[in-house]
Amino acid sequence: MTEIFNAQGILKTFPGVKALEDVSVSLTRGSIHALLGENGAGKSTLIKVMTGVYRPDGGTMMLDGAEYEPQNTHDAIVKGIGVVHQERNLIPRFSIAENIFLEHLADQPLRRIDYPKLFQDAQRWLDLLEIDADPATPVDRLSVAKMQLVEIAKALSLNSKILMLDEPTASLTPHETDTLFGILRRLRDDGASLVFVSHKLEEVQEICDSVTVLRDGQNACESRRLDELGRQDIVRLMIGRSEMIPDWVARDRAEGQPVLELSNVSTKLGHKAVDLKVHKGEIVGLYGLVGAGRSELAKAVLGKFEITDGEVLVNGISAKINSVADAVGRYRIGYVSEDRKSEGLVLIHSVLENVGIPIWRRLSQFGGFLTNGTVRKHTVPFIQKLEVRTPSLEQQVGNLSGGNQQKISVAKWLAAEAQVLIIDEPSVGIDIKTKAYLHELIRELSDTGTAILLITSDMPEMIALADRIVVMNEYAVMGGFNNTRDYTEMSEGIMGLIQGDETAAA
């Protein structure tokens, strides 16, 4: 097999973070290559570098024997790298044919479009991809699966040498997925080079030939043949080794009245009969692959999504949570978001403003009046305790580093004296030192009695911190066990539960 694309030593840095460091990938003709990694591992950054969205800060790329340095996304398409994005990029009211040939509807901008010819050309692509539809149909009348195929037709019509598919099956039914895979296999056999990005490992194993795994912005493996790797091997490559686990003793804090209890909770989003207990001073780790419904469950507890069945109990009493304001104000449940830039913090406001938000109401006197002095008194101790490095309290949070931003989003809930703290992927985009510090802090926080629900896809983090591990998959709890802090035993137990293998949970 001949190589068509090769990237060597790709480096991409953003202020404060090395998103990609010395990353290499090699693609061959007539193969389907999997690109894997957990959230924040650098997958999407790599895709953006390959498709001309970002310019790499170092490294070289070769495409079809020539140096490849895309200046922008259009340039990448012209040179032969096409992408089918996770989010739809079709124009709803336009016909299938118009969408496929959107980039070159006519030879010149003001030339009349030759519709009969356009439809004829489109029909060829529809036949090739076995899409049963009239080229003149507006794409918004198509099923999601057919839209996906139209996007693939569009990318192929641009003479793509490499076609990247970002989570192409995310919104397809199993049957539609099978059809898509049949087509992808045929394209491969015709000599196409495809890159397949997915979180569904079984799909990757079914359709891909080789795999590159990224972890923390680096190659965990580069272009290895998939037939020599088992599922466990891939998972281990994705989530890392056991070395980073601090030497803490295992604890059992599951005693007495749970502070937060979910009893038979189902939600509109599809959670099925979820049971979960978090006790005072306990860290319960909620493990699952991306898309398992963990953050969504957290937000349902917070009152952002509707709970259709079952109930949430706080300190043993059924909680009436109709909005996040209820959860925060009445039940003191805090949530540290995985998406701190858009959900955790107000980037254009100052450090002091951000940390004080949940307690302004409580601190105000004489019918709502509030002074900075009062806010300072109740927030600065926590800002100092967390060693937030900022030139001043008036500094805009958006100007601080990722680690300091994360400290602020935690400090906010310390100041709010949360009795339950839900922490979602706390170490995404954070340097190792701050990560270790945050781990110590979370542990310390649980010692002061806060009930903590830790959501993470980072296996070492999970085993370092959790007292009890609960595994979720496809919006349901698969099971749980106490953390013995034995890495191999725990990671195998977790993977066993994800695969639905009950015996491994013992």
Among 11, 313, 370, 393, binds another protein (CB under 8 A): 370
CB of 262 to another protein, least distance (A): 19
Contact 26, 6 (CB under 8 A): yes
| Sign of the torsion angle spanned by Cα atoms 438, 41, 305, 462 | negative
Structural contact between residues 59 and 9, judged by C-beta atoms closer than 8 angstroms: yes
Q: What contacts 90, CB < 8 A, 6 or more positions away?
A: 99, 139, 147, 150, 151, 154
- Binding residue for another protein (CB under 8 A) from 335, 406, 453, 462? 335
SS3 letters across 57-85: CEEEEEECCEECCCCCHHHHHHHCEEEEC
According to CB under 8 A, which one of 360, 437, 481, 487 is a site residue for another protein? 360
Q: Which is nearer to another protein, 412 or 435 (CB)?
A: 412
Q: What's phi and psi for 112, nearest 5 deg?
A: -65, 145
Can you give the length of the chain in residues?
506
Tell me which of 245, 345, 445, 465 binds another protein, using CB under 8 A.
Answer: 345
Rule CB under 8 A: choose which of 46, 302, 420, 453 binds another protein. 302
Query: Among all chains, which residue has been given the structure tokens 């207990």?
Result: 277
For residue 3, give the 3-state DSSP assignment: strand
The residue whose two tokens read 């070769």 is 62
207 part of the interface to another protein, by CB under 8 A: no
Calculated CA dihedral for residues 20, 24, 30, 35, nearest 10 degrees: -40
Using CB under 8 A as the binding rule, whether residue 313 contacts another protein is answered as: no
Nearest approach in angstroms of CB 442 to another protein is 19
Cα–Cα distance between 401 and 408 in angstroms, integer?
11
Q: Does 344 bind another protein (CB under 8 A)?
A: yes
Q: Which of 64, 203, 233, 343 binds another protein (CB under 8 A)?
A: 343
Contact between 377 and another protein by CB under 8 A: the answer reads no
Q: Tell me: does residue 369 bind another protein (CB under 8 A).
A: yes
- Residue 342 interacts with another protein (CB under 8 A): yes or no: yes
Binding mask 314-333 for another protein (x = CB under 8 A): ---------xxx-xxx----
Q: Does 337 bind another protein (CB under 8 A)?
A: yes
3-state secondary structure at position 265: strand
CB-wise, 45 or 450, nearer to another protein? 450
Residue 396 touches another protein, criterion: CB under 8 A: yes
- Region from 62-70, 107-115, 252-260, 335-343 binding another protein, contact rule CB under 8 A: 335-343
Q: Output the six-digit token pair for 267.
A: 């939600």
Q: How far apart, in Å, are the Cα atoms of 359 and each of 381, 414, 463?
A: 14, 10, 33
**Under the criterion CB under 8 A, does residue 358 sit at the interface with another protein?**
yes
**Kindly report the CA angle at 346 between 340 and 348, in degrees rounded to 5?**
125
* Binding span for another protein by CB under 8 A among 28-36, 40-48, 82-90, 347-355: 347-355
The site for another protein (CB under 8 A) is made up of: 302, 304, 323-325, 327-329, 335, 337, 342-349, 353, 356-358, 360-361, 363-364, 368-371, 391-392, 396, 399, 412
